[in-house]
Amino acid sequence: MSHDLFEAARGAMAFAHAPYSKFPVGAAIRAEDGKVYTGANIENLSFPQGWCAEPTAISAMIMGGAKKIVEMAVIAEKLPLCPPCGGCRQKISEFASKDTKIYLCDEAGVKKTMTMDELLPFSFETELG
């Protein structure tokens, strides 16, 4: 099941707008509706006003009508096993459960699988979350 997310994340990475960092990243989400939503990082000259790949994919998911991340893949062209940054981990956790699988990929495929709880232990939560 994770191979199609890897392929989708790799395909999304091709759309990255990373003229400043030269660090393209792609992300793919399988949502509770079964659909795959993708995103790439989109940089802006006025750093840090750009978007990472993960929240770009989350935005596509929300605009597609889905609300829950079932599993997610992340890939970076220049860094094997690129985990989401701290801010993205919190953004992902808003739409994921503690056992949501996050696949870290290199150019050949999924190399490491982690749960959201492993990526963000003791995450910020309230009674609403």
Burial class (CB in 10 A: 0-12, 13-18, 19+), 128: exposed
1-128: CATH, from 3.30.70.1530, 2.60.40.1930, 3.30.300.20, 3.40.140.10? 3.40.140.10
pTM of the model: 0.93
For 8-60, what is each residue's pLDDT tens digit? 999 999 999 999 999 999 999 999 999 999 999 999 998 778 999 999 999 99
CA distance linking residue 120 with residue 74, whole number of Å: 15
Active site residues: 54
105 is in an annotated binding site: no
C-alpha radius of gyration, the chain, whole number: 14
CA distance linking residue 36 with residue 31, whole number of Å: 6
For 60-112, what is each residue's pLDDT tens digit? 999 999 999 999 999 999 998 999 999 999 999 999 999 999 999 999 999 99
Domain extents for the chain?
Answer: 1-128
